[in-house]
Structures are given as C-alpha cells and as structure tokens.
Amino acid sequence: MKRIYELEIESIIQQIDRNLEEYGHRFPHIHRDGRYAEHFSEDGSWTGSFWTGMVAMAYRYTNNPKYLTYLHGYLPLYQERLKKGYTDHDLGFLYQLYAVEMYRLTGSSEYKELAVEAADKLLSRYHVKGGFIRAWGPIQSDIRRGKIIIDCMMNLTLLYSASALTSDPKYREAALSHAENSRKHLLRPDLSTYHTFDFDPESGNPIGGFCEDGYGDESTWSRGQAWGVYGFQLSYELVGKMEFRDTAAAMADYFIKHTPESLIPPWDFRLPDEAIQLQDCSASAIAISGMFDLADSLDDTVRADYYRSRANNMLQALLPYSSEAEQERNGILSNCYGRTEEGQFHMYTIWGDFFYMEALFKAIGHNWRMWSSSI
C-alpha cells in the first residue's frame, strides 16, 4: 500500500499547486462540489490553517521553497485577525498550524511572537473557578459563557506550545486543567462523548452535557468522537499523563466498534432511522491520524499493531472518496458531513482534506507532529 499512498500524496500536491494560483492568499472552507474558490472564507473562519497546514506539509515533503514563500504571504492576514477579527477557542486550530509551524520552519521571531499573542488571547478565555476554556462567542458576550466543547481538545496544543516558547507554565497549566475537566465531564461511562458541556458561568459548577453539532443531546457526533481520540492522545504526548492516553484508546475503541463495515462512519453514531443518513469522511480522517499517533505511543506491540492496522484499513476505505485528480475541483476528500442554512449535506471540507493528507503521510512514515509543542 505504501506506493499507492505515495501516488495519492503526489496527486494531492499537484492539486495544491493548482490551488496556489487560484486562491491567492485567501482561505478555502467548504463547498458541496469541492469548488472552494467559489466560496472563500473571508478571514479563515475556524479552518484557515488547515489549508496553510497542507502547504506546509507539501514544503516538508518536497523542500521546494515556493511553498514557504507562499506561506509568508499569509502573515499579515493572521496578524490582522488577532487585532480586529473574530476570536474564540479555535485560535488553537488557526495559530498552531500556522504561527507555531512557521516558527519551526523558519526560526523567525515574528512567528514566535504571533503564536504567543494568539495563545494569550486563547488563555483569556480560561475560567479560573471552573478550570476550563470557554468555547464560542466574544469574551464579553453572555451567550454560551459557561460552555466547553470536545473540539477544544485539539486547540490546547497552542497553549502547550506557548509554554514551550516562553518557559511560562501558565499556558500549560490552563490546558491541563481543561483537558482534565473535558475527560471528567464530556465523556459518558461508555466512552462516547457529549459535544458540549455547560458550567455555571459565575461559579464554574458543572451543569450537564449537550450536543449542538450531533443529532441530539444524548447522541454521539462522530467528528466529536474523533476530536477526542486525537486530542486526548496529544495531551498525553504533551504532558505525559497516562489517563489521557487510556482515554484516547477507549474512545478509539468506541469509534472502531460503531463504524460500519464500509469503514466510513455516519455523521452521528446514534442516528434514529428517521434522521438524515450521511457519512462523514472527515471524522474518519481525524480518527485515523489520531490512531496512528496512539499506536506509536504504545509499548504493547500487539495493541499498537491493532490500532495501526485499523487506521490503515480505514485509510484505504477513504481512497475511493478522493477527488484529487479532478482538476475542476479544489477539494480532495468528498462525503464529509456539513450543515449549512440550506440543510445537511455531503460536502468537501478543508479540514477533511488536511487530516486525510496528514494521515497519508503518517502511513508512509512521515509524521512531522505539527500539533506538538516541540520547538
């Protein structure tokens, strides 16, 4: 399979080259037909760095300086976003894959400063009494003021990186507290997940679990489960708490058990018959990438081989959903679940493309650990 994966990566890089010219320094986001250039995100939304992360992987793989030159062109946009743009918990997605990654690649102090400034804004969302990072909404807004979401487990990497960059433990301590509270409150006894959990915004006392992106409050949104697999594994790697790796493994077991024979998960693992039945290839790609890391971290070779084998099988199942050779499209991975004002659809998503590409690289032995705090 290695050669098949390599050919897929080479085709994706050819698609990236075509997209460089069409995008300029704009941000792809989602599109039902994969034509991101018809629907750019103005400021990068929560997804902008998945595109720049793909370009960074192309640079790491090819050493072609054109990719690095192109990435430098996004710096003013990321700087302006922190000054005047919308910011929330997704600063981790946006700045880990851009500012931290560009600092690793260039050693330039302006990227280090950008990463720390973004981490400071993310840290400002930390609720001291409750020990969590607030999810959506402007910091001064009362809407959703006591809410956390499973997605934020991936955003914590920016805080871990900021402590590595500054030697100040405050970022790491906040991330660790949030991870522990997420493990305590977002996980059910069977290791499925709530998408969201509410705390009293004044006292920080726990209220209960809910779901906004899944089917219902007691359902299991498959992409949320995937965020948990990957996110808890990352927290294990970055702080060394065995409980986090155990949680990642148990969540991966749930994901594997509830994925159908097609090896493509539904958008929610607990859908009633009357619900819209759609797949989510992006959830699969995220879980696969997390499982590769999980396998690498295990001393038990039998368990490691199990997760690695499952990840490879699921990755092979994604290959028919790749559209990288279709030049009329910008997107790579089809059948990713998306919801817009018009309804629920199979879509192309830039996050699905990123995690698919990342998983392919891991499958052939290239793991650049873009989410780590090592500088």
Contact (Cβ atoms closer than 8 angstroms) between residue 180 and residue 131: yes
Cα separation values, 99 from 7, 75, 114, 119, Å: 29, 8, 6, 10
Per annotation, catalytic residue among 43, 142, 151, 353: 151
Q: Which residues are CB-contacts of 346 (< 8 A; sequence separation ≥ 6)?
A: 32, 278, 279, 334, 335, 336, 337, 338
90 is catalytic: yes
User: How far apart (Å, rounded) are the C-alpha atoms in residues 259 and 284?
Assistant: 9
299 is catalytic: no
Residue 208 has which token pair? 């209960």
* Strand 126-127, strand 132-133: pairing: antiparallel
Helix boundaries (H) for the chain: 2-23, 48-62, 65-72, 75-84, 91-95, 101-106, 109-123, 152-166, 170-185, 222-239, 242-258, 281-297, 301-318, 350-363
Per annotation, catalytic residue among 17, 33, 43, 90: 90
User: How far apart (Å, rounded) are the C-alpha atoms in residues 21 and 16?
Assistant: 9
Catalytic positions, please?
Answer: 90, 151
